[in-house]
Amino acid sequence: MNNKKNKDFFNKVYQIVEQIPYGKVTTYGLIAQRAGLKSSARMVGWALNAYAYSTALPCHRVVNRNGELTGKNYFGTPTMMRELLESEGVQFIDDRVDLKRFLWTPEEVL
């Protein structure tokens, strides 16, 4: 992908992440699909890394398709992502977000 397309995709990712409701999570794959590149979940991770997991975006609300906190190493401590989610009422089954209860699907964001 060229730089313009990357920038456009990244901006779409940021717009979607901004919309994730308090107390909900979504997945890299659902964000990629809504941003127009269905098989680009990994690129969503790159976009969030490029944003440096800033506190301006609720990046802690993005998990992998199994509800695992694969982005947790990009926060201040390895437990911060889970702590932020739990402070919003998000519950876990073992080390995975209970996606049946807390998954948000970005349908009409863009």
Q: What is the pLDDT of residues 39-87, one digit of tens each?
A: 889 999 988 887 765 568 899 999 999 999 998 888 889 899 999 999 9
Q: Cα(57)–Cα(50) distance, rounded to whole angstroms?
A: 12
Mean pLDDT across the stretch 28-43? 90
Token pair of 32 as six digits: 């990629």
Would you mind telling me the total number of residues written for the chain in this entry?
110
Catalytic: which of 13, 16, 31, 59? 59
Cβ contact 28:64 at 8 Å: yes
Q: Is 39 exposed, middle or buried (0-12, 13-18, 19+ CB in 10 A)?
A: exposed
* Residue 22, pLDDT score: 97
The reply to whether 59 belongs to the active site is yes
Amino acid at 78: P
Per CATH, the number for 3-102 is 1.10.10.10
Amino acid at 94: D
* Residue 87, pLDDT score: 98
Token pair of 65 as six digits: 């398709």
What single string gives the DSSP state of each residue in 51-100? Answer: TTT-TTTTGGGEE-TTSB-TTGGGSSSTTHHHHHHHHTT--EETTEE-HH
Q: Domain locations in the chain?
A: 3-102
pTM over 0.85: yes
63 backbone dihedrals φ, ψ, rounded to 5°: -130, 170
* Residue 12, pLDDT score: 93
